Amino acid sequence: MQLLIDQLGKRFNREWIFKQFSAKLQAGQSYTFVGPNGSGKSTLLHVISGVMPSTEGKIIYQLDNQIIEEDKWYRQLVIAAPYLELIEEFTLLELLDFHTGFKPFKEGISKSELIERIELEGSKNKAIKYFSSGMKQRLKLALAFYSNVPVVMLDEPTSNLDAKWSAWYREEVQRLTPDQILLICSNVPAEYDFCDTIINVSDFKPH
């Protein structure tokens, strides 16, 4: 998998959030978008994911030399962010059933294995709306780490995690497979200091 990004720009009303962003993002590589709050890190991630349209420029998702149509991008990626809600009416088991209908887990990872890894065995029949913010974040990250997709996107990944689970995050995120692309938005070095490439989004904001 590779993502080819050419002269990407996003504008809200008359203000450019970023402009002329180009990059070649490749499997086996990890990238972090840094910059002050409000600099456009999350917006850039949303545009690359296809959740939000760009104002200018283009993105090409390429897998095995085949170009993937934009309306199929979502099957190639998983995104975990504090502001992206899980389906709260589902129980944990129902949510995992729903998720794997679109994105299967990696080989060797079953639903019960995932639940054990994030220590939620006692909550598998509990509705997500009754989970604490920390439980929800562990679940979001587990879905990102263990789904068999080429692109993993994480925004502020240790939000709502205590020291134990922040350490778990660091361990698991570095176990992603060589055929995956990792994209992180963060201003916390402990969330990304292992990454191959750091990109300051402020460099692409017109002055």
The domain spans of the chain are 2-204
Ramachandran category for residue 98: left, alpha or beta (phi over 0 → left; psi -120 to 50 → alpha): alpha
For residue 199, what pLDDT is reported?
Answer: 97
Low-confidence ranges of the chain (pLDDT < 50): none
Distance of CA 138 to the CA centre of its chain: 13
CA 198 from chain centre, in angstroms, equals 16
User: Alpha-carbon distance 159 to 11, whole Å?
Assistant: 27
Question: What is the per-residue pLDDT for 58?
Answer: 96
3-class DSSP state for residue 66? Answer: strand
- pLDDT value of position 2: 95
pTM reported for the whole predicted model:
0.95
Superfamily covering domain 2-204: P-loop containing nucleotide triphosphate hydrolases (3.40.50.300)
pLDDT of residue 60: 96
The pLDDT value recorded for residue 177 is: 83
Give the pLDDT of residue 95: 98
pLDDT at 189: 97
- Helix/strand/coil for 190: helix
User: Which helix (H) or strand (E) is 100 found in, with range?
Assistant: helix 92-102
- Which pLDDT belongs to residue 23? 97
Tokens of 21: 């962003």
> Residue 178: what pLDDT?
82
pLDDT of residue 17: 96
pLDDT of the residue at 9: 98
Task: Please tell me the distance from the alpha carbon of residue 11 to that of residue 29, in angstroms, as a whole number.
Answer: 28
pLDDT at residue 18, as a whole number: 97
Predicted pLDDT at 176 = 87
Cβ contact 75:102 at 8 Å: yes
Distances in Å between the alpha carbon of 111 and those of 46, 118, 172?
Answer: 28, 11, 17
